[in-house]
Amino acid sequence: MKSVFADTHFWIAFLDARDPWHAKAGAISQGLGRVWTVTTDAVLSEVLTFLSAYGVETRRRAAAFARGALARPDVEVVPQTRETFLSALALYEARPDKTYSLVDCLSMQIMRERRIRQILTHDQHFAQEGFTVLMRE
C-alpha cells in the first residue's frame, strides 16, 4: 500500500469546514484511495493546539479526531522520542536560512527515514526539501 505523510495543514483543513483548504483536503483525500497515512505525535499536538481556541465543541471534536487517528489501522502516528527530537533538531540547525518549524523538520526526517515522497499539506517548505506537496492552489 502506498504511504503518504499527513501534515498539520492537511488535518486542520480536513477537520475545519471554515478553513479555505477544506474542500481541497477532502477532494485529495478521496482521490488517493486506500493509502497508509503516516503522521506524528508532534503534528497531532499542533492540530490540537491550533483548534484549542475554537471553543468547547471544536476542542471535543479535535480530541476525538486525535484519539481516532491513534486507533485507526490505516494511520500510523509516529511517537516523539529523544532520537526523533535530536534528528529534527539537527535538520533545524542545518537549515538556518529557512523558516522551517521544528515539527516540519521532524516530519521531513520521518519521511526520509521511511522513504515517503508525498505529503498532504500546502506548506511549500516540503517542496524545498524535494517532497511532493499534494495540496496545491
**pLDDT number for residue 42:** 98
The residue ranges of the chain whose pLDDT is under 50 are none
Ordered domains of the chain (ranges, CATH): 3-133 (3.40.50.1010)
In a 10 Å sphere around its CB, with 0-12 CB exposed, 13-18 middle and 19+ buried, how is residue 64 labelled? exposed
User: Structure pTM?
Assistant: 0.93
**pLDDT number for residue 137:** 67
**pLDDT number for residue 69:** 97
**pLDDT number for residue 33:** 87
Q: How far is C-alpha 94 from the geometric centre of its chain's CA atoms?
A: 21
In 3-state terms, the chain is what percent helix, strand and coil (to 5)?
60, 15, 30
Report helix, strand or coil for 120. Answer: strand
